[in-house]
Amino acid sequence: MTAGEQPPPGSIVGKRVVLRRLEAEDRPRVRAILEEPEVARWWAPRGPDVALDGLFDAEEIVYAIEVDGRVVGAIEYAEENEPDFRHAGIDIFLDSTHQGQGLGGDAIRALARYLFNTRGHHRLTIDPAVANERAIRAYERVGFRRVGIMRGYERDANGGWHDGLLMDLLKGELTAATE
């Protein structure tokens, strides 16, 4: 953020989710989510505490995802503000009982609208593991397109490196919610 810019909003409202800035009090609940095998597999290869600390470092802006006042996951963005390459990258996780209901798409649409309309971005990126078919399917449903494979992109729990899929979404390509 540069001088004179508005800080990120405290909350962003979706259709069914509310995104609220992550706070220190959220740590136990978010840690419990990061411990769930279905989330840890993709988000916490070095364990929940490393992933949790990453959410609280200064680099990304992180929101808790709430449904009916309960924290069910988190979504974050990081901006590249170099003018010739300006874009924002996003990432997300939901607890296992809230996956597969379209809530991820709802949260992504809400954050994407903010990044396009308020932050003035023209391009968003997301980079799931190639094997994360559910995530890729969810992102395509929102309008993200497959750009290409990033080989040996991300470290996994056994110390190896697996491929990532770079996906991007240009302003105007965000799909309307159907759910």
Question: Which CB atom, from 37 or from 83, has the smaller least distance to ligand COA?
Answer: 37
Q: Which residue has the tokens 């974050």?
A: 76
CB-count burial class (<10 Å; 0-12, 13-18, 19+) for 160: exposed
Residue nearest to ligand COA (CB): 104
Around Cβ 28, how many Cβ atoms within 10 Å?
A: 9
Handedness of CA 37, 38, 39, 45 (dihedral sign): positive
**Cβ distance to ligand COA smaller for residue 64 or 94:** 94
* Chain residues in the site for ligand COA (CB under 6 A): 38-39, 42-43, 73, 91-94, 99-105, 128, 132-135, 137-138, 141
Q: Which residue, 1 or 151, has its beta carbon nearer to ligand COA?
A: 151
- Closest separation in Å from C-beta 55 to ligand COA: 13
Strands 161-170 and 123-126: antiparallel
Closest separation in Å from C-beta 84 to ligand COA: 27
Least distance between ligand COA and beta carbon 177 (Å): 10
Least distance in angstroms from the C-beta of 5 to ligand COA: 28
Helix (H) or strand (E) segment spanning residue 28: helix 27-35
